[in-house]
Structure 1
Amino acid sequence: MPSLYRLHRAALCAAVFGIAAISTASAEEIIIGAATAQTGGLAPYDQPALAGLRMSLDELNAKGGLAGKYTVKLLIKDTRSDTAQTATVAQELIDAGAKIMITPCDADPSISAGQLTQPLGIPTLTLCGSAPVLTGAVGDVMFGTYPADNVQATAVADFAVSEGKKKVFLLTSPDSTYTANLPEYFGKVFETKGGAIVGRGTFSMGQPDFSAEITNIKGLADKPDLIMTAAYEPDFPAFIQQLRGAGVTIPVYGADAIGTPTIKALGKLVDGVVYT
């Protein structure tokens, strides 16, 4: 993840200046708390990003640390991909002396941690959470390090229009900010460029059966040129397998979270799937 690695490195170097004013001149060590998913649904995203963070911090420490003078000690606690648990471990990291907080690859748990760090002025950076509402929902200590959902959605919509697509079916889930809002951002841009939303469907994250949504798609009188969704593992593999198994060959467009080895390993089932 070289691009993510560079973003984290630059963001962390910037964050250290935010705490320099409250650090003593003799301070030599800064504790960075990483409230990240080592288990659960976010682990396939948090763990590679965390590995990039470790690499960056090792290199920075070898060169004298953040800002050339602060050696970093990284404390990591497992959020278990749960929003409430993220808040719990974030508080534990604060109690352990964390002066910078790293949060998961998702807005909802990142906001729960940020609500604890904001009153304390602790700079807080999400590994790769991408909701544009993230910083506004917390305050001036919260920083994104990754292209926002509305930016990604605009890129996908621009591509769809360039491919001559005119009609879209949006598949969303209310269970996360990412899965709820990113397809809607796409829809707004797509409509402003002359496209039309001809149908919508919803799913619950973790549900194994997408037959109702697929029946809805197959029954549309106005057939879509594409399906747009921000579903990811394990939902996207289940959806695409059942969709193609039902004989629906409509192109599917997604976002960054489906660029995983697991999904690529589906082979012909995901040939032609577009994602940021």
Structure 2
Amino acid sequence: MKKLMLSTLLAASLAGPAMAETLTVGVAISQTGALAPFDAPVLEGVHIAVDEINAAGGIGGNTKIELIEKDVRSDAAQTSIAVQELADQNVSVMILPCDADPALAAMGVVSSAQIPAISTCASSPTLPVLGGDYMFANFPGDNVQAAVSAKWAFDQGYRNGYIIYSPDTQYTTMPVYFIEVLTKLGGTMLGQATYTIGQQDFSAIATRIAALDPQPDVIMTSAYEPDFPSLLKALRAAGVESQVIGSDGIDSPTTFSLGAVAEGLVFSTAGHATEGSPLEAFNKKYEARYGKAPETVFNAVGYDLVKVLEAAVLESGSTQPQDLRDAIANLENVQGATSTITYKGTTGMPVRQVSLVRVTEGARELVAQPTPDPSLIPEPRMR
């Protein structure tokens, strides 16, 4: 009897595991609070990708994905607590909030537990630098987006620039990169203004800009909801007609519902659906799942993140945290919904396409999808 049991176990081991291994993903993101307009859509895309992969038998046909979700409520302290709880549950990889500041609040836990972590859509290039070897981003860097938008502005003949930023978060300092590139190309900075996150009245800033002579050709800001709509309305009410360039934080339904004040606004983002593109295919999946067309690219960004995790498991043949960390760091040309994604040769900030989109009659109009000029990309700025 013992010999029979031994031979049966040996045969089973040679044939592979009787039960599929599971990739356990800890999801500590902002389902409520100020970052929810970004993280909530990302989570929808994550669910689409996970369900799609699991329905096919799992990664490689045998490794199912299990999500353990925690709402960190857009709070840095709560993010740290949630990440520690997930580490205690022995997850293989973690997904962190869509902003460098709360994501960095988890870096101590991530480094100590040696579990790779990817922010949903934080774009500060300082995130993986400060966060250490186990911290990754999943979005075009602020410095890359700024290089693309500044080059486009210069090519349009915009020479005099004005920047509006907040020192309160890493993300809202993107305009500093923008003006660095514009001046490197030969442009001039006419001035700058700072604001506080959550500021409701931008009339003083708008009045100051309206009094400038000459007027700025272009104004760049990375303000996002609820600040950006108030800022844009104040500028137009003061008679400022300059080209306004924003960033991915305003890729939301709110921007496209602002009417005339948003007309002609240009912003950088992670992707734009063109005919026959992977993003167009994803948008159809989203509509079939949720019964409506996606209103932001952040849905697709969530799908991209899971495709990165899938590629890391396939590359490493493992769901162990250290193996996944090493695999992610060496991934090349992973096909996502928005673009291909490469980590090899980077510090953890992915190389991926940037799209410039214009608001035209309340809809998206693709301006360009350029390849960033490496010589123009500024070095990450540490606060």
**What is the TM-score normalised by the length of structure 1?**
0.87
* CA distance in structure 1 between the aligned counterparts of 2:76 and 2:18, rounded to whole angstroms: 36
Deviation at 1:183, TM superposition (A): 0.4
Deviation at 1:93, TM superposition (A): 1.7
- Please say if 1:262 is aligned against 2:254: yes
Q: Deviations over 1:93-148 (max 9, x none)?
A: 22233221001111111111233111211111111111111111111111112111
1:82 alignment counterpart: 75
Deviation at 1:62, TM superposition (A): 2.0
Counting matched residue pairs gives 252
* CA distance in structure 1 between the aligned counterparts of 2:61 and 2:90, rounded to whole angstroms: 21
Where 1:269 maps in the other structure, the secondary structure is helix
Distance of aligned partners of 1:27 and 1:95 in 2 relative to their CA distance in 1, 3 Å threshold: farther
Structure 1 segment 121-200 matched on structure 2, within 5 A: 121-180=114-173, 182-200=174-192
Tell me: higher relative CO, structure 1 or 2? Use CA pairs within 8 A at least 6 residues apart: 2
- Please say if 1:203 is aligned against 2:171: no
Deviation at 1:29, TM superposition (A): 2.1
1:38 alignment counterpart: 31
Where 2:201 maps in the other structure, the secondary structure is coil
Deviation at 1:172, TM superposition (A): 0.6
Task: Answer yes or no: is the 8 Å Cα contact 1:82–1:109 preserved in 2.
Answer: yes
Where 1:164 maps in the other structure, the secondary structure is coil
* CA distance in structure 2 between the aligned counterparts of 1:174 and 1:132, rounded to whole angstroms: 16
The one-letter code sitting in structure 2 at the alignment partner of 1:158 is: K
Deviation at 1:27, TM superposition (A): 7.2
- Please say if 1:106 is aligned against 2:99: yes
The one-letter code sitting in structure 2 at the alignment partner of 1:183 is: P
The one-letter code sitting in structure 2 at the alignment partner of 1:76 is: E
Where 2:157 maps in the other structure, the secondary structure is coil
Per mean C-alpha deviation after superposition, the further-off stretch among 108-117 and 60-69 is 60-69
Match of 2:51 among 51, 58, 72: 58
* CA distance in structure 1 between the aligned counterparts of 2:170 and 2:160, rounded to whole angstroms: 24
Unaligned runs of 5+ in 1: 1-23
Deviation at 1:266, TM superposition (A): 0.3
1:245 alignment counterpart: 237
Give aligned-pair identity as a percent.
44
* CA distance in structure 2 between the aligned counterparts of 1:141 and 1:25, rounded to whole angstroms: 31
Task: Answer yes or no: is the 8 Å Cα contact 1:253–1:275 preserved in 2.
Answer: yes
Task: Answer yes or no: is the 8 Å Cα contact 1:252–1:273 preserved in 2.
Answer: yes
- Please say if 1:220 is aligned against 2:212: yes
Task: Answer yes or no: is the 8 Å Cα contact 1:179–1:230 preserved in 2.
Answer: yes
Task: Answer yes or no: is the 8 Å Cα contact 2:215–2:242 preserved in 1.
Answer: no
Unaligned runs of 5+ in 2: 1-16, 269-383
Instruction: Give the ranges of 4+ consecutive aligned residues of structure 1 lying more than 4 Å apart after TM superposition.
Output: 24-27
Distance of aligned partners of 1:250 and 1:96 in 2 relative to their CA distance in 1, 3 Å threshold: same
Bigger Rg over Cα: 2
Per mean C-alpha deviation after superposition, the further-off stretch among 103-112 and 229-238 is 103-112
The one-letter code sitting in structure 2 at the alignment partner of 1:96 is: Q
Task: Answer yes or no: is the 8 Å Cα contact 1:199–1:220 preserved in 2.
Answer: no
Task: Answer yes or no: is the 8 Å Cα contact 1:34–1:74 preserved in 2.
Answer: yes
Where 1:44 maps in the other structure, the secondary structure is helix
Distance of aligned partners of 1:61 and 1:114 in 2 relative to their CA distance in 1, 3 Å threshold: farther
* CA distance in structure 1 between the aligned counterparts of 2:246 and 2:200, rounded to whole angstroms: 19
**What is the TM-score normalised by the length of structure 2?**
0.63
2:22 alignment counterpart: 29
